[in-house]
Amino acid sequence: MPRVLILIDKHGWSYDTIARGLVTHNPNPDLAFDILAVTQETEFIEQHHGDYDLVFALGWTLVMSKKRKNHYGDLLPFLDRAKLITGIHSHRSWDDYRSLPDDGPAPPAELVQRLAKFRGINIISRRLFRIFSEAGLRNIVLTENGVDTTLFRPTRPVNTNPGGPLVIGFSGSTEIAKHDQLKGFTEFILPLGQIPNVEVKVLGGKGEHQVKREDMPALYNQIDLYICASTSEGFSQSVLEAAACGRGVISTKVGGCEDLITEHHNGYFIRRDREQISSLVRRLESDRHLVGTLGENNRAVVEERYSWDVRVKDWLHFIEANLPECVAMPARRGREPRPTSPS
């Protein structure tokens, strides 16, 4: 039985959520996975990585680091690069925070050259795929993020009663100034609470305010609408989780939100402009039936396209296609990774 080691940064964080979604929904009994965190289990990884047929570092920053501007060094140099695959999950890991919803830099040439040496790379959003494809990277596959639709599901209906407040939710760090600026919380989201009959709720947090993942669905079910005002995103887990809980999403045109949202159907796109965002929220506050419909449609979209039961197939194809030939799954033997083109 082929064995795959999935490397994450830290248990309980975003990569862990993705890894556990992949492992939990793996329908292939002939493929075994283990999940280890590089920040907590490095010694064990060094001792036992050779026991695995393939090592999947979920993000490239787990195995490479930026030593200085546009120069990258190896992390975990003991790993056999011939058995190593990785992923691209964000813009901020390489763009010096310059990406914006309507514009952004190309990835550094040295990063592209280094990534080209990996056995295979998965990319989680169509925008990121397009950026790296245009930069000349060929060993890439599009595998959009998924969400556990059994855990994240509607348990409380959206409030369609105009007598109660429209509750808008946001999930992210508000304590670190740079994160606050990139997420747009203080500048664009917090002021929405000044609109009559609108309430802004921060869902979870960091440190002592961090909420366990299994408790997050209850928080999403306390809101009526989710907002993302980021400068860039790969494919936000929070957006997917809120959508799975039957909440409509308003978002800047970033990453996976472009893939998820069909305007007027399950959400709306916004600019990073306070007046434009405020105008949209006022309109939605006055049309609660529409808010409810956005949420219902979003749940349907997620069930059809973004549940892990659906998305796991592309992830497994990527993994199986990169197994060494001598251990490849019989159904996949001889098949190369398919560089899926966004449609």
Determine phi and psi for 124, rounding to 5 degrees.
-95, -5
pLDDT digits (tens, 9 = 90+) for 15-47: 999 999 999 999 999 999 999 999 999 999 999
pLDDT classification of 210: cutoffs 50, 70, 90: confident
Select from 167, 159, 174 the least CA-distant residue to 200.
167
User: Rounded to two decimals, what is the model's pTM?
Assistant: 0.92
Q: In order of start, what are the domains of the chain with their CATH numbers? A: 3-146+307-327 (3.40.50.2000), 166-306 (3.40.50.2000)
Query: DSSP letter string over 110-127?
Result: HHHHHHTTSS-EEESSHH
Copy the structure tokens of residue 3.
């064995």
pLDDT at res. 205: 65
pLDDT digits (tens, 9 = 90+) for 121-144: 999 999 999 999 999 999 999 999
pLDDT classification of 198: cutoffs 50, 70, 90: very high
> How many other β-carbons are positioned within 10 Å of the β-carbon of residue 126?
19
Residue showing tokens 């959400």: 267
pLDDT at res. 206: 60
pLDDT at res. 213: 86
Copy the structure tokens of residue 256.
């996976």
Handedness of CA 211, 253, 226, 157 (dihedral sign): negative
User: Is pLDDT at 209 greater than 70 in this prediction?
Assistant: no
pLDDT at res. 289: 97
Task: State the Cα–Cα distance between residues 89 and 233, nearest whole angstrom.
Answer: 8
pLDDT at res. 175: 80
pLDDT digits (tens, 9 = 90+) for 268-292: 999 999 999 999 999 999 999 999 9
User: Is pLDDT at 202 greater than 50 in this prediction?
Assistant: yes
Burial class of residue 155, CB neighbours in 10 A (0-12, 13-18, 19+): exposed
Task: State the Cα–Cα distance between residues 228 and 230, nearest whole angstrom.
Answer: 6
User: Is pLDDT at 336 greater than 50 in this prediction?
Assistant: no
pLDDT at res. 225: 98
Select from 231, 129, 114 the least CA-distant residue to 183.
231
Name the average pLDDT for the chain: 92
